[in-house]
């Protein structure tokens, strides 16, 4: 696109020199001169300069892709709002209200009703199921609403929070919603065009931004001092502008299919955002459809992945270093201990660089499945069978 943009700019300059007196940018020239005249002018110039035909039209086609995706997916994207009563207490010793700056009786409290747009979601079923991030609806003491379209407000009647991934499903009492199209995240390519839609900064609803996939298979720690942190594996990195309030919104491909759920933005850099791959979401949705809740197979260990470089330096295998084993968990019953390095699940080797973490492989199993776990302890390998349980 860089080369094509340069060519378009060059054509605009030449047309100005020829005396047409117009600066051509985007689709303005076609609307002023008419498509037929522009085609003739561009055709003559392209032939004289040896430029390929259709340069101008390709630029316009890319613009049309974005507008088409926004038109088709936009009605399925919702704003998530919170409603909560905030209780403010004055200082019990000095009787000073730190917010208002007025003296009051010791221990006096005041209440304030807060209603605010805080995130984004997207509709996945006609009968009222909406996907968002778990951290968007993390306050169990609050009530939530969704804004559909410009001004249709619906109360959230149920919230199902995924204990593993930063995902949640909201339920509203509607049977006429327009679900969004879900794509696949298996064949994504770095450099691929993506489009994000969301409520930027919790203020600007239906904001559309465009960028590319900047990286795949990233591992990040997302969170805040209030909500805590969570390790997310195998996420998509994008330079499409994502801001607070975009959380839970869709990251779409050029066909208008959701390929990720926007989840976090880097506080250290600009245009560095992250999204949970849609295939992870689809697994959660399928599991929810079968059980009515986010049940997950559970092995019962806390771990950290050992990279290939760290493995070479420490003369240990690549895998998941077990830092904690839950009492009476499947791993505990199978004899797995702190310090063990789990290297394989059912013959699949763990490799953080390829997105094959312990949790990603376990999440592909079902509750009740018996898996073969290969681990390294004391310079030798052991293989045991572990029956996965419900958390």
* Catalytic positions, written as ranges: 135, 166, 247
Q: At 112, phi and psi to the nearest 5?
A: -140, 130
Element at 123 (helix H, strand E): strand 109-123
> Phi and psi at residue 116, in whole multiples of 5°?
-155, 145
What the block records as the tokens of 48 is 């004289």
- Structure tokens, 171: 């339920």
Query: Residues 251, 258: contact at Cβ < 8 Å?
Result: yes
Q: Tell me, rounded to whole angstroms, the distance of Cα 159 from its chain centroid.
A: 19
Closest to 167 (Cα-Cα) out of 227, 247, 224, 246:
247
Helices vs strands, H then E, count in the chain: 8, 20
Among candidates 271, 121, 270, which has minimal Cα distance to 210?
Answer: 271
Asked whether 72 and 66 are in contact (CB, 8 A), the reply is no
């Amino acid at each position: 696109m860089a080369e094509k943009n340069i060519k378009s700019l060059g054509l605009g300059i030449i047309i100005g020199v020829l005396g047409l007196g117009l600066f051509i940018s985007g689709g303005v020239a076609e609307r002023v001169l008419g498509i037929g005249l522009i085609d003739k002018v561009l055709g003559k110039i392209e032939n004289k300069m040896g430029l390929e035909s259709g340069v101008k039209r390709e630029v316009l086609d890319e613009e049309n892709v974005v507008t088409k995706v926004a038109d088709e997916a936009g009605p399925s994207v919702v704003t998530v709002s919170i409603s909560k009563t905030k209780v403010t207490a004055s200082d019990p010793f000095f009787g000073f209200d730190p917010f208002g700056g007025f003296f009051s009786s010791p221990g006096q409290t005041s209440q304030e009703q807060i209603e605010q747009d805080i995130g984004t979601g997207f509709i996945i079923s006609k009968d009222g199921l909406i996907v968002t991030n778990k951290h968007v609806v993390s306050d169990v003491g609050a009530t939530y609403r969704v804004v559909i379209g410009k001004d249709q407000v619906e109360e959230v009647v149920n919230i199902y929070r995924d204990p593993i991934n930063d995902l949640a499903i909201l339920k509203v009492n509607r049977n006429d919603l327009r679900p969004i199209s879900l794509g696949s995240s298996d064949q994504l390519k770095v450099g691929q065009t993506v489009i994000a839609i969301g409520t930027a900064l919790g203020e600007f609803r239906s904001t559309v931004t465009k960028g590319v996939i900047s990286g795949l298979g990233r591992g990040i720690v997302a969170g805040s001092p209030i909500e805590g942190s969570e390790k997310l594996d195998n996420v998509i990195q994008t330079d499409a502008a994502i801001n607070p309030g975009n959380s839970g919104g869709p990251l779409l491909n050029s066909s208008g299919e959701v390929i990720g759920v926007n989840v976090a933005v880097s506080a250290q850099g600009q245009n560095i955002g992250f999204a949970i791959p849609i295939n992870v979401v689809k697994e959660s949705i399928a599991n929810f459809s079968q059980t009515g809740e986010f049940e997950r197979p559970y092995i019962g260990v806390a771990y950290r992945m050992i990279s290939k470089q760290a493995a070479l330096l420490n003369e240990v295998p690549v895998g998941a270093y077990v830092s904690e084993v839950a009492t009476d968990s499947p791993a505990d019953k199978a004899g797995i201990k702190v310090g063990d390095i789990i290297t394989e699940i059912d013959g699949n080797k763990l490799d953080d660089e390829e997105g094959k973490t312990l949790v990603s492989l376990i999440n592909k199993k079902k509750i009740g499945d018996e898996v073969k776990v290969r681990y390294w302890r004391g310079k030798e390998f052991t293989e045991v069978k572990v029956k996965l349980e419900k958390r």
